[in-house]
Amino acid sequence: MHEISIVRNVFETLQETYPDKFERITKVQIEAGLLSNIQPILIQNAFEALIVEEPALAEIELEVILLPIIAHCDACDRDFEVKRHKFVCGCGTPSKNIVQGEELQISRIEFLENQL
């Protein structure tokens, strides 16, 4: 979906959160749950398109990590991976108590150390 606005959002968020260190960012890692409907390759394309507008971002590496969907089964009191969007535990109990899979967040940022 709307990958361009997501990528823009990434850099606006970083600019807001790290006004002093933004220029020194070398790598940004994004975590996207499978339920966020994010396609990593489209994020990369959108990023390349944004660089044309904002060449200063060209030195930054962007990594997108997809997170599987994990739900919690109350009957077994354990987490299970939701495969093929079937929100049913191995024991047969349905659950939509989602522990992981809806994220869309910046998870890690690397900066160059301040050079004196």
**Shorter beta-carbon distance to other proteins: residue 78 or 94:** 94
Residue 98 is labelled as binding a ligand: no
The tally of CA atoms less than 13 A away on the side-chain side of residue 90 is 7
Dist. CA 29–CA 107, nearest whole Å: 6
Whole-angstrom Cα distance, residue 91 to residue 94?
9
The residues of the shown chain that bind other proteins, judged by CB under 8 A, are: 1-2, 6, 9-10, 13-14, 17, 26, 30, 35-37, 55, 58-61, 63, 84-88, 94-96, 98, 102, 104-113, 115
CB nearer other proteins, residue 77 or residue 114: 114
Shortest separation between residue 9's beta carbon and other proteins, angstroms: 5
In the complex with other proteins, which residue's Cβ is closer, 77 or 96? 96
Torsion of CA 27, 17, 34, 69, to 10 degrees: 110
Report yes or no: 110 and 62 within 8 Å, Cβ to Cβ.
no
Measured from the CB of residue 47, what is the shortest distance to other proteins in angstroms?
10
Enumerate the known binding-site residues for Ni(2+). Answer: 2
